[in-house]
Amino acid sequence: MPRGFETAERLLGALADVLFPPRCQSCGRTSGALVAGLFCPVCGGDIRYIAPPVCPVCGAPGPAGQTADRLCEDCRRAPKPFAVARSLAVYAGPLLRSIHDFKYRRQPGLGRRLGRLIIDNNYAGMELEGFDVVVPVPLHVRRLRERGFNQSLLLARTVAAGRGIPVDFVSLRRERDTPPQTAMGRNERRVNIRGAFAVVRRDRLRDRGVLLVDDVYTTGSTLGECARTLLEGGAARVGVLTLARALPETPEAP
Ligand SMILES: [Zn+2]
Ligand SMILES: [Zn+2]
C-alpha cells in the first residue's frame, strides 16, 4: 500500500477513536481499553467467571466453603443425559445485560464478540478438543421469524470457527414450539420440553462427539432434552457449553 494511504488510514482510525470512542457494552461509558472488546474495566471486573470447585457433570459452582469438585444435588437426584456441561460465567450483571441486548435488542454483532469470550477461556474438566461438531440449540421456526436470528447459532458459529470444527444447525430440529418456561419450576420445564426436538439427519451425527452450544444454562431441562435427543439420534457423546449459567438467586431470562 502506498505510504500516503497508510498514513491516511492511521489518521482516520485515530479520528474515529476521538469521534466515536469505544463504549462499554454494559454501562455505556467510553473507555480507552475495553475488556474483550466489550466491557470497561469496572464492568469487566464485575463478571463472575466460573472456576473450580464445580459439579463435575453440570458445572454448577460449588457452594461457599466447598473445596473440591463434587456432584451437585440436582445431578445426584436426576442424572444428566450429557456427559459434561460448562459455562463461562454467572448469568448476572454486565454479562446478563449484554445477553439481553444481543437477544432482545437484536444485536447479532455483539453475539460474535460474546462467542469469542466463550472460546478464549479454559474449562476445567472439559476438553474442547474431544468434539467433532458444534450443534446450537435450535429455535422453533416461529420464534426464528419473530427474532430474526438464532442466538445459539451465532455463538455456535464462533465457537466452531475458533475450534476449527464444523457447525451443524440442520440435524437437530425443534419440532414443537413450547410455552415460555420462565415461570415454570424444574419438573414442569422437563415435562414441557419433552419431545420438543428431533434428529432429522442421523447420518451426520452417528458416532460423533457433539458440543451443544447455548447462551444460558438455566435448569438444564432444554439442554438435557437436546442431549437426550442427540444421543437417541446416534451421537456418541454430548457436551454442553454455554456463555452464562443462571444461579438460583439470579433472575431468569424473560
Ligand atoms: Zn462499563
Ligand atoms: Zn450437577
4 and 72 share one domain? no
77-86, 153-162, 194-203, 243-252: lowest mean pLDDT where? 243-252
63 and 5 share one domain? no
Report how far ligand 2's centroid is from the alpha carbon of 90 (Å). Answer: 15
Q: Given this model, what pLDDT does residue 26 score? A: 92
41 and 59 share one domain? no
Is residue 252, in this structure, part of any structural domain at all?
no
- Which ligand neighbours the alpha carbon of 69 most closely? 2
Report how far ligand 1's centroid is from the alpha carbon of 204 (Å). Answer: 43
Is residue 8, in this structure, part of any structural domain at all?
yes
- Which ligand neighbours the alpha carbon of 80 most closely? 2
- Of 40, 22, 152, 44, whose CA–CA distance to 93 is shortest? 44
24 and 58 share one domain? no
Q: pLDDT above 70 covers what percent of the chain?
A: 96
Q: CA-to-CA distance for 115 and 159, rounded, in angstroms? A: 6
Report how far ligand 1's centroid is from the alpha carbon of 244 (Å). Answer: 18
Report how far ligand 2's centroid is from the alpha carbon of 251 (Å). Answer: 19
204 and 79 share one domain? yes
- Which ligand neighbours the alpha carbon of 31 most closely? 1
Report how far ligand 2's centroid is from the alpha carbon of 82 (Å). Answer: 11
Q: Given this model, what pLDDT does residue 1 score? A: 52
14 and 83 share one domain? no
Is residue 254, in this structure, part of any structural domain at all?
no
Is residue 129, in this structure, part of any structural domain at all?
yes
DSSP SS3 for 15? helix
Asked if 202 and 228 count as a contact pair (C-beta separation under 8 A), the reply is: no
- Which ligand neighbours the alpha carbon of 41 most closely? 1
Report how far ligand 2's centroid is from the alpha carbon of 88 (Å). Answer: 15
Is residue 251, in this structure, part of any structural domain at all?
no
- Which ligand neighbours the alpha carbon of 95 most closely? 1
The domain that contains 142 carries what CATH number?
3.40.50
Report how far ligand 2's centroid is from the alpha carbon of 242 (Å). Answer: 14
What digits encode the pLDDT tens for the residues 141-188? 999 998 899 999 999 999 999 999 999 999 999 999 887 777 777 788
Taking the CA atoms of the chain, what radius of gyration do you get in angstroms?
Answer: 20
82 and 138 share one domain? yes
Q: Given this model, what pLDDT does residue 250 score? A: 46
Question: CA separation (Å) from 9 to 3, 6, 16, 210?
Answer: 10, 5, 10, 43
List the shell of residues around ion ligand 2, using CB closer than 5 Å: 55, 57-58, 60, 72, 75
Bond into 22 cis (ω within 30): no
Report how far ligand 2's centroid is from the alpha carbon of 92 (Å). Answer: 20
Question: CA separation (Å) from 210 to 3, 144, 207?
Answer: 49, 23, 9
| pLDDT surpassing 90 at residue 20 | no
Measured CA angle at 33 (ends 29, 37), to 5 deg: 85
Report how far ligand 2's centroid is from the alpha carbon of 55 (Å). Answer: 5
125 and 162 share one domain? yes
170 and 88 share one domain? yes
76 and 96 share one domain? yes
205 and 184 share one domain? yes
Is residue 125, in this structure, part of any structural domain at all?
yes
Is residue 16, in this structure, part of any structural domain at all?
yes
86 and 199 share one domain? yes
Q: CA-to-CA distance for 93 and 183, rounded, in angstroms? A: 21
- Which ligand neighbours the alpha carbon of 57 most closely? 2
How many structural domains compose the chain?
2
At residue 251 the predicted structure's pLDDT band, cuts being 50, 70 and 90, is: very low
What are the phi and psi torsion angles at 135 (to 5°)?
A: -125, 125
Is residue 126, in this structure, part of any structural domain at all?
yes
Which residues form the domain of 157?
48-245
Q: CA-to-CA distance for 154 and 114, rounded, in angstroms? A: 9
